[in-house]
Structure 1
Amino acid sequence: MAPRNRIIIDTDPGVDDILSMLLAFSAKPEELEVLLLSVTFGNVDVQSCLRNVVSLFIHIEKEQEWRRSVGKSEGFTTLKAHKPLVALGAEEPLADQMMMADYFHGIDGLGGIHHSHPHLTPEDTWKDLFKSALKSPDPDEAAAAREMSGSHSSFTPSRLPAHEEMLRLLRENEPDTITIVAIGPLTNLARAAATDTETFLRAKEVVVMGGAISVPGNMNPVAEFNTYADSIASARVFALTSPNPVSTMPPVPPGARGGVESTAHAPFLGPYPEKLSQRLKLTLFPLDVTTPHQLIRGHFESVAKPLLESGSPLAEWTIAFLSATFDKIESLHTTRNSGADVGLEMHDPLCIWYVLDPDSPHWKPTATSPEDIRVETSGQWTRGMCVTDRRDRRRRVVAEGDLAEVPGDTGNWLNDFAGNRIVRMEGTPGVDVFGGVLLERVFGA
């Protein structure tokens, strides 16, 4: 049976990113096909993120071998049916100052386990797969490399940078058949959109974990980490939802690192073509909806510790990095639960839960969707803030294509031919059930 949904996961692993990918790969082949893991900097540097992806595949393979040895179903059947590509992407933001979240995720992105548990770290030979890949950007050589099935049993290293691999897949498949799930900074997506905008718009949907609308941020008082980490990339991708992208495109700070005078980033910072065939469909999962969905330490341990005692490699690995993460959460907050009641907010996994069954009536956008949500890129204290117009004002009637501002409408907020059009998710199949769904799918428990 053909998969219901075919996806690209753009990711910066990261603890909750790893849980997201475990959830995705635990799907049935008819539910989901993961075409590509597009790796970006974010929670930690891009090489550490890539190492965590490789470690993920190694531990899934060990888990499947162990399950066979004890007479259990192997699980992770979509991964067995569809071998994904892994591509190395952006090392830094388009123009913003580089910021990471290693204070929370640990210096390696997984609670420091590559130092505390060296036996859980992949051999350095994995680096050669991607070093040789990046030396061969020619498309013909890349195509030949994809035919090499022996590079790794569970994935194929891409011979193209992540944004180019993303565009190749969109170009070589029918329009509106591939969903991009972006659970890290949007730098790879912004690069793809700048390189070939019309091909990027062939995506069926772009699902973004990012932003904070009516709740506090987790990076500064108003901004969520992914939008903060590359606010210009976020603003550029959001702009493609507008009938006139120029109306919400971010300015590039003159003289900034990565500004238009930089040969490294200039191709990704220019304007979009004036006439585009369609608008991007973007569904946003901000902190407002993701934060309440938590994995509780006591619930996780009740499932994982018996499996650890039985010899499960996946239980050993996840206990190692999640124990460090639960401890970190407990140390950072004074008003939250402690001990077995500590909860890990599952921001990124919620996006994967959505793409498993996006047509479910339990997924409910806000009543005001699509909303004009824009990303602040130049504020001293508000970098990465998602801005909406909360004024009780009647929208202006203007001629199509006329973006001239009217008094009291600085920024073209009040007319029908400007501004972004973003679907913001508000309702889900259940805050209290998600942790159990994830554990059941990943561990079969």
Structure 2
Amino acid sequence: MEIIDDIVAIILALATPNIDVRAITLTHGNTTIGNTVRNATTLFSVLEKQTEYYKTHGGPTDKFQTSRPALAIGAAMPIKSTQILASYFHGEDGLGEIHTTASVDQQQHPHFTYKDWQSLIISDQEILDAEDTLYRKEKQHSPLYTTSPRSGCDEILFQLAQAQPFTVTIVAVGPLTNLALALENDPKTFCLAKRIIILGGAIDVPGNTSPFAEFNFLADAHAAKAVLETTHGYKPNTTIEDKLALHQTNGWCPLHVVMLSIDAGEACSTFPVSLLERYSPTVDTPLSQFITPILEFVADKSREYGKRQEHIALFDPVCIGLLLDFEASLATKTPKLPVQDQTAKSYLHRVIESGRLIQRRGGWTTYFEDVRVETEGEFTRGMCCVDRRVFIGKQWTGVSTNVEVVREGPNASFLQRVMEAMYDIHLND
């Protein structure tokens, strides 16, 4: 988590009662790690005000309170490459200048930031260890989160070790440095993840940061390469029993990685500016006062750079919708159908198209692909490389992957979810 659409993703996850958010690991990315920490503590202070608002003005009494995640500071720099930032688009603070400047209506917003925000990230263990009881009382954290004494990569491993095998989904919406470091430190524990959902990469479209690379993959191409290579040997029909047997025998099993690249992400994440203009003036809550100027900032920047005129793209919260729909499809008690059956209705359709295994479930269409990440190219670092040859006379060298790539996804349910999470607006009413 680091910047604007990451914030929306966190809001959506915390607003969804059937998602148990166990940890949020912070990382470098579009802004510095220091700004990331400030943005995280700011978000939780706003959500705390929002829960108080619900108590006095009416509203969902348990919203934002069903999870109490651990907040862990992760990597400040990529593994090997030079750090890149995107302050030109996301603001110097990574959050649309919410901490420093005025919105379009000249209403100042720095009041969202705690003056002593650095102290909010002190670990709970340090608070408990303090002898001064007054200090302990003053430093009690928000009821909505705890702070971890562990680094971001160690927090990932801690959560995986504490949970039952193959029950934790990792949703990665920034550079993959924290994941790659966790993998390097303890691959045996890391592969106990149920799946990893990634926002990143550009396969059949140009990059959004370089001609060939999407930002998250460019920001740490070595990390992206390492995480995708964990899918080497992955088979979609592998059962939990098979995974446990592999893990017990080999100390390792291939991971299920789902990749939402900007190819499909653009259409899935379309957020019309008209929705913001229509509904935001009708809602006046702590959360709406916080999120509206941030989204207005993104809309202005999108127009400035000529990317979009009528909508903005909120890629990261799409990953939360993907998680919800995948879990809902798995919970459907409908028998799996043979690959050849392309017409029967089921929660999971598997067909073969152009040699690819295509899956359709929960409104999403995905396919499995051997995706490699370029790490050293002068112009192509972070590029997703796919073998497009019709006749393959010579196989690739190196480690093959088997990544589940999203091809299509629903936009209507995405809009409903984010509007309800941010503004308590039900679009279908």
Tell me which of 258, 262, 270 is aligned to 1:287: 262
Structure 2 match to 1:277: 252
Alignment pair present for 1:409 and 2:398:
no
Amino acid at match of 1:43: N
Q: How far off its partner does 1:411 sit?
A: 2.0
* Matched-pair contact (CA < 8 Å) for 1:363–1:425: no
TM-score, with structure 1 as normaliser:
0.77
Tell me which of 317, 323, 345 is aligned to 2:290: 317
What are the residue-to-residue correspondences of 1:1-400 with 2, within 5 Å?
11=1, 13-28=2-17, 31-74=18-61, 76=63, 79-116=64-101, 117-131=108-122, 150-243=140-233, 276-292=251-267, 293-308=269-284, 312-333=285-306, 336-337=308-309, 341=310, 343-359=311-327, 360=329, 361-366=361-366, 369-393=367-391
Q: How far off its partner does 1:37 sit?
A: 0.5
Distance 1:45 1:391 in 2: 40
Distance 2:150 2:110 in 1: 31
Q: Deviations over 1:371-418 (max 9, x none)?
A: 100100011110100000000125xxxxxxxxxxxx733525xxxxx5
Amino acid at match of 1:203: A
Distance 1:135 1:228 in 2: 36
Distance 2:124 2:422 in 1: 31
Aligned residues: percent identity? 31
Name the CA shift for 1:124/1:212 in 2 (closer, same or farther; >3 Å).
Answer: same
Q: Deviations over 1:214-233 (max 9, x none)?
A: 11110101110000000001
Unaligned segments of structure 2, at least 5 residues:
102-107, 130-135, 235-249, 330-360
* Matched-pair contact (CA < 8 Å) for 2:3–2:95: yes
Amino acid at match of 2:401: N
What SS is found at the alignment partner of 1:283?
strand
Distance 1:356 1:364 in 2: 11
Distance 2:326 2:225 in 1: 25
Q: How far off its partner does 1:67 sit?
A: 2.5
Alignment pair present for 1:426 and 2:407:
yes
Distance 1:184 1:134 in 2: 27
Alignment pair present for 1:441 and 2:417:
no
Amino acid at match of 2:320: I
* Matched-pair contact (CA < 8 Å) for 2:197–2:259: yes
* Matched-pair contact (CA < 8 Å) for 1:57–1:154: yes
What SS is found at the alignment partner of 1:370?
strand
Q: How far off its partner does 1:435 sit?
A: 1.9
What SS is found at the alignment partner of 1:237?
helix
Q: Deviations over 1:402-444 (max 9, x none)?
A: xxxxx733525xxxxx51110111232x224422331023322
Structure 1 match to 2:333: none
The CA RMSD measured in Å over matched residues stands at: 2.5
Q: Deviations over 1:187-240 (max 9, x none)?
A: 000000000001000000000000001111101011100000000011011111
Distance 2:299 2:61 in 1: 28
* Matched-pair contact (CA < 8 Å) for 1:300–1:439: no
What SS is found at the alignment partner of 2:378?
coil
* Matched-pair contact (CA < 8 Å) for 1:303–1:439: no
* Matched-pair contact (CA < 8 Å) for 2:157–2:186: yes
Name the CA shift for 1:151/1:102 in 2 (closer, same or farther; >3 Å).
Answer: same
Distance 1:297 1:92 in 2: 34
Q: How far off its partner does 1:173 sit?
A: 1.3
Distance 1:301 1:382 in 2: 39
Name the CA shift for 1:80/1:134 in 2 (closer, same or farther; >3 Å).
Answer: closer
Amino acid at match of 2:121: F
Distance 2:126 2:140 in 1: 19
What SS is found at the alignment partner of 1:65?
helix
Count of residues paired in the alignment: 365
What SS is found at the alignment partner of 2:65?
helix
Distance 2:47 2:187 in 1: 36
Distance 2:413 2:277 in 1: 16
What SS is found at the alignment partner of 1:233?
helix
